[in-house]
Chain A
Amino acid sequence: MYLIDTYAHTNRWRRWHTLEKLVLSAGMLLLSLILPPWPGAALVFAAMTLLTTRGAGVPFGFYARLLLPPLGFILASAAALAVSVTVGPRVGWHVSFSPTGAAVAYPLLLRSLGATSSLYLLALTTPVVDLLSTLRRWGLPQFVLDLMLLSYRFLFVLTDTARAMGTAQASRLGYGDLRTARHSLGLLIASLIRRVLVRANRLEQGLAARGYDGNLAVLSPEQALAPANLGRIVTLELLVVTLSLYLKELWTWPR
């Protein structure tokens, strides 16, 4: 989580206008859902992976590791579809590969990959600050934005606190065996909750001291929209559409 945030602030596309990145990410997300999964969603996945790692400069190793959890999840559900297990009184356990299941599973797999990589591009290149101010410009209610902002900020305050407390417990052998570990974790969570409440209370005092009146007004970052960039993004998206429709004629997956 820390690293995602770090890359969002340090990548090469940091200064791009948020709208450009949104058009790219949301457009590709849409394409990966409506184009034929092969080769459409696969193309989206390839393009987004290349753009995130080559274009924005997020290290490939980190990107790949980030893909692992959703990939594992996707593969597990694909496997569940493609492999059928029958349990009968006469045959006992019977595991079989189901071609119809596989036909359902592979588009699912490709679409999920395409969609995930589209979202990752946004998450890895755009700081939360930029996203929130764009949402504000679009007229999202202020209290929703305030909540999002505070959750984001508290996420880091809390992980810092939890990490520090965990270290303190561990250095006093709090995680020696399973039983003490369970006990320590319980204590940690309990005191974490208490600290959140205290923290929230004191943050309110801190904000009050600066004239908080129920509205977390802050400046928005200044960004310039580059029409050339937008043009390139739309071109790329059209290219993916044409290419996938064309390739589909040439090479169809066995059904």
Chain B
Amino acid sequence: MAEVILEARQLDYRYSGGAAGLRGLDLTVKRGSKLAVLGANGAGKSTLLLHLNGVLRPTRGEIRLDGRPVRYSRQELSLWRQQVGVVLQDPDDQLFAASVFQDVSFGPLNQGLSPPTARERVAEVLHALGIESLWDRPTHSLSFGQKKLVALAGVLAMRPRVLVLDEPTAGLDPWGAQRLVESLELLHRADTTLVMATHDMDLAYGWASEVAVLDRGRAVLQGAPHLVLQDEQLLAGAHLRAPWTLQMGLRLQELGLYPAARVLPRTPEELLMCLKSPELA
């Protein structure tokens, strides 16, 4: 079994208004995996992600990084946040600087890099995301999609081992979402562990190596996507539905159009392929 890099055990979190954010939540993030955290609006995804690098502190339970419970001292927090980077859902909550390269330089400078090294990092990350032309644009003049990419760049520039993204594709057009998924694929190949919160079931099914379903502050199930996402009852209870590609694949198997022994298609493209040439599938 793969090594566990980050782990949440029995997390409880209560917002100051009294609303329960998390209730006894367990989550395991394996090294090198692509974990999708699925849940309806208000299920606690954002609350959970803010715990993963110590922005929020659980009222009960603990977070373990590399098997060791983390402490919330200034020093430990700083080390922790260099390893686990969180990209927030709303880029306006993250972008504070007046221009793009300044904003992206914030994390690297906080890590103690020298200005010339930080400058190289910024250039490298902007290039990797294909947004180098935005480098000296004022942050407020960017489109929503551009802001999301810049917010991602600001975290990537810190080279985290675990990258945590809160609904990264929400509000992006299909092309922008596709580009983002491609960038994530490159990071995955470069051995970055990825955690993504989303309620886009089709995206999660096509992307994730593992999924966790959240419902009212609790992780009800974590496991392989094709197994977890077949459980219609569980999904309905969490106000989610099975991904369309999976439903379609299962139906094709039922009709005998798809070999029962084979792995089910995970993306619409794969599905179309096996419809075009069933004998190849």
Contact = CB atoms under 8 A, between A and B. Distances in A.
Nearest to B105: A219
Interface in A143-195: 149-150, 152-153, 156-157, 160
B81 interface: yes
Nearest to A153: B96
A150 B140 CA distance: 12
B183 interface: no
Chain A contact-residue range equals 20 to 34
B109 A218 contact: yes
B102 interface: yes
A217 B119 CA distance: 13
A80 interface: no
Contacts of A245: none
A157 B88 contact: no
B105 A218 contact: yes
Chain B interface mostly helix, strand, loop or mixed? helix
Nearest to B50: A205
Nearest to B80: A211
A211 B82 contact: yes
Contacts of A157: 92, 140
Interface in B36-62: 50, 53, 55-56
Interface stretch (A52-60, A105-113, A125-133): A125-133
Given A202-B90, A209-B86, A127 B81 contact: no
A156 B106 contact: no
Given A149-B97, A153-B96, A213-B78, A206 B88 contact: yes
A241 to B, nearest CB: 35
A132 B93 contact: no
A212 interface: yes
Contacts of B118: 219
A199 B88 CA distance: 13
B205 interface: no
Interface of A: 5-6, 9, 127-129, 132, 149-150, 152-153, 156-157, 160, 199, 202-203, 205-213, 216-221
4 closest cross-chain pairs (CB), A and B: A211-B110, A156-B140, A206-B94, A218-B102
